[in-house]
Amino acid sequence: MRVRKVIDGVSEKVMCSVTAAVSFLVVLIAAGLYLKARPIMEITPIKELLTSSSWHPLKGEFGFYPFLMGTFWVTFLAMIFAIPICLLCSIYISEYAPRKMRDVIKPLIDLLAGIPSVVYGVFGVLAVVPLIRDTAHRINISTTGYSVLAGGIVLAIMVFPIIISVSVEVIQSVPYEARESSLSLGATQWQTVKKVVLKKAFPGIVAAIILGFSRAFGETMAVLMVVGNVPQVPHSIFEEAYPLTALIANNYGEMLSVPLYDSALLLGALILLLIVLLFSMAARLILMRGGR
């Protein structure tokens, strides 16, 4: 008995240490990025870096505003496309689809999550970009097809499996007794889904959306291939943009002989990390309120 208690105590401490080490990685990464980004923040105020539109590394001008706006445009457009589609798919799979169809659909959706992002990028270049260009020309809009809209469509497709898979699990976790009680009172199946199931599953659905948003916000390769990579603040979904992730991927490792260039790019990485962290904390607060 005593040996068993000792083994249990050692196992608990080992698992606690491993968990703490994994959790500490986030702090370690943030600290490393901050130390690398500190030189440029000591020279230029962070407010000026975030609000300036002037990006001329050879002149020592590093304005992140166009890249931040490009990132937000593409990400929020992707979520506008993805959220209603994913929610309707999740409801159908969980509440309406026959069991055999559900067993076929779920593995196919999960398969989408395993496709490399470069494949989505190639699909965007070959299918989405020409479709946008041809459709826009028919309505007298001048565009090359490489645009915020192309990036939003490709990103929306990429986050489908994440949001759908998590939402399905959350909806199916709602006790069946809640559905039976609603139906026994005369409610239709849709009224039961809308008033009972979705209300109970709402915090989990929000968490799924935040998870999908984080994936979209940090995506690099697929967006880089279809968004145009023009450093400007887009004013239309048909205009080119240059997300912050694409800026880092395109330039890190090149032109680092330019003073502060390395520091500026790693500041961009730190900004991405902090934004994703803030949204994750917001999701956690929503889950806590929903639990109460």
The pLDDT value given to residue 51: 85
Q: With CA atoms as reference, report the closest residue to 286 among 222, 204, 180.
A: 204
Give the pair of three-digit tokens for residue 166. 């998590």
Q: For the domain made up of 66-291, give the CATH fold.
A: MetI-like fold (1.10.3720)
As a whole-number percent, the residues of the chain with pLDDT over 90 amount to: 4
Q: How far apart are the C-alpha atoms of 125 and 197, rounded to whole Å?
A: 39
Give the pair of three-digit tokens for residue 47. 């407010």
Q: What is this structure's pTM?
A: 0.83
How far is residue 196 CA from its own chain's centroid? 28
Secondary structure E strands in 119-184: none
Contact (CB, 8 A) for 226 and 3: no
The pLDDT value given to residue 71: 87
What residues does each domain of the chain span?
Answer: 66-291
The pLDDT value given to residue 111: 84
* 56 DSSP β-pair partners: 61
What does the buried/exposed string (b/e) look like for 263-278 if buried means 16 or more CB atoms within 10 Å of the residue's CB?
A: bbbbbbbbbbbebbee
- Residues shown for the chain: 292
62-118 pLDDT tens trace:
888 888 888 889 888 998 999 999 999 999 988 888 888 888 888 888 888 788 888
Phi, psi of 89 (to 5 degrees): -65, -40
